[in-house]
């Protein structure tokens, strides 16, 4: 087992390098960071030239990537544009934990910008994920056990509506109903923007209240998709011979379901959730945007539009790392759940 984990980690290293090269290349093609430079007015040509030089954007691709990766404190760079590289670099590179400085938020490192958002995003996304998994399991198992019943048909219809509704549409409709109209009708309405009411302050109650609509929005579409998946997985397992054997032994339906069926059905479900957990840190692009939730999704979108390469690269690399880590964890979970899988 230990050897297996080490082998998987060693295999992941070149993969991550490869991914980072592609991402870095694509980022370079997005646009000129200096052109917008934090959203301020277009700078004077002389300043732009200086900025380009100071940020190292005039360097060839391989050199930019190398500096991003391992830093440039070992090299001399030309800061004042006289053609002589005499200043020592200050960057340490991402391998030494230096994500670079944010271009949009001057004076802040990219890591600080990202780090600030991580708790907010995890709070929102983990809550949503728990809601998704619990409801999808309940609905999926329920409709599998009552296949082709009226309840199953209704759930199927609602799932297809949910599955085909764009997130932004659901978000706007939910705001329209629960924030706007509820307020108009004098009902207790839900807040639609931000994490808390500035007049009340950041209390747990406020945050929870502000989370209701975004969590609902994220969960709705995913529950629709997941419950379908869990339903079909359960149906497949419930038709297996060993479930018939369990029944022939006179076991109760509940015991058959939770002991014999669910453990077998858990493998494909774990695969799904494993990948999901990895991407939780990425936040929800559309939902965070609409509900003005200060999370990673919104950060990514804002900084992407301003070509803030260090921040965006930082987010993407963290996500890549998480995907790799969670894939290894998922595979290890398989071995726990299914005794036929061994990694020796």
Partner 1 sequence: MPDPTLARPHDPPRDGPLRYAHDPSRLLLDIRNLEVRFNTPEGVVYAVNDISYGIHEGEVIAIVGESGCGKSVSMMSILGLIPKPPGEIAGGTATFMGRDLLTLPESDLEQVRGIEIAMVFQDSMTSLNPVLTISRQMTESLRRHYNMTDEQATARAIELLELVGIPDAERRMSDYPHQFSGGMRQRVMIAMMLACNPSLLIADEPTTALDVTIQAQIVELVSRMRERLGMALIWITHDLGVVAGLAERVIVMYAGMIVEEADVDSLFDNPHHPYTMALLAALPRVDRRRDNRLNSIPGSPPNLLNKPRGCPFAPRCIYTIDRCRSERPPLIPLSPTQRTACWVTTSDDFKYERRQDSGYESQSAGTYE
Which residues make up the interface to partner 1 (CB under 8 A)?
Answer: 148, 239-242, 244-253, 255, 259-260, 263-264, 337-340
Compute the least distance from the CB of residue 140 to partner 1, in Å.
18
CB 137 within 8 A of CB 257: no
| Closer residue to partner 1, CB minimum distance, 205 or 250 | 250
**Closest CB 343 distance from partner 1, rounded Å:** 16
Largest CA distance in the chain: 88
Nearer CB in complex with partner 1: 108/149: 149
- 3-state secondary structure (DSSP) of residue 73: coil
**The two three-digit tokens of residue 238, written as one number:** 């419930």
Structure token pair of residue 78: 């030309």
- How far apart are CB 163 and partner 1 at their closest, in Å? 24
Residues 6+ apart with CB under 8 A from 4: 343, 344
Three-class secondary structure of residue 88 per DSSP: strand
Pick 76 or 244: Cβ nearer partner 1: 244
- Please state, in angstroms and rounded to a whole number, the distance separating the CA atoms of residues 50 and 202: 42
Cβ nearer to partner 1, comparing 116 with 338: 338
Q: What's the closest the beta carbon of residue 257 comes to partner 1, in angstroms?
A: 13
- Least distance from C-beta 222 to partner 1, angstroms? 27
- Nearer Cβ to partner 1 (144/190): 144
Dist. CA 310–CA 104, nearest whole Å = 10
Residue 96: exposed, middle, or buried by beta-carbon count in 10 A (0-12, 13-18, 19+)?
exposed
């Amino acid at each position: 087992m230990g050897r297996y984990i080490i082998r998987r980690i060693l295999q992941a290293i070149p993969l991550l390098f490869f991914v980072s090269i592609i991402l870095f290349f694509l980022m370079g093609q997005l646009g000129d960071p200096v052109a917008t430079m934090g959203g301020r007015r277009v700078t004077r040509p002389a300043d732009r030239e200086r900025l380009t030089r100071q940020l190292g954007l005039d360097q060839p691709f391989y050199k930019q990537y190398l500096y991003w990766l391992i830093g440039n404190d070992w090299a001399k760079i030309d800061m004042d544009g006289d053609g002589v590289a005499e200043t020592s670099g200050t960057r340490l590179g991402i391998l030494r934990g230096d994500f670079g400085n944010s271009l949009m938020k001057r004076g802040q490192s990219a890591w600080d910008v990202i780090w600030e958002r991580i708790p907010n995003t995890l709070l929102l996304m983990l809550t949503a994920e728990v809601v998704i998994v619990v409801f999808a399991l309940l609905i999926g198992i329920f409709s599998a056990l009552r296949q082709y019943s009226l309840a199953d048909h209704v759930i199927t219809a609602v799932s297809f509506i949910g599955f085909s509704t764009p997130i932004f549409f659901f978000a706007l409709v939910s705001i329209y109903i629960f924030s706007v109209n509820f307020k108009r009708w004098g009902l207790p309405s839900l807040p639609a923007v931000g994490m808390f009411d500035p007049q009340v302050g950041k209390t747990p109650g406020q945050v929870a209240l502000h989370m209701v609509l975004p969590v609902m929005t994220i969960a709705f579409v995913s529950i629709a998709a997941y419950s379908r998946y869990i339903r079909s997985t359960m149906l497949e397992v419930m038709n297996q011979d060993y479930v018939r054997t369990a029944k022939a032994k006179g076991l109760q339906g509940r015991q058959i379901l939770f002991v014999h069926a669910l453990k077998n059905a858990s493998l494909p479900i774990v695969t799904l959730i494993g990948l999901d957990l990895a991407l939780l840190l990425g936040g929800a692009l559309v939902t965070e945007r609409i509900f003005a939730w200060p999370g990673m999704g919104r950060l990514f979108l804002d900084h992407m539009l301003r070509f803030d390469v260090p921040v965006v690269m930082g987010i993407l690399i963290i996500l890549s790392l998480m995907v790799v880590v969670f894939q290894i964890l998922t595979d290890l979970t398989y071995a726990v759940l299914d005794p036929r899988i061994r990694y020796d």
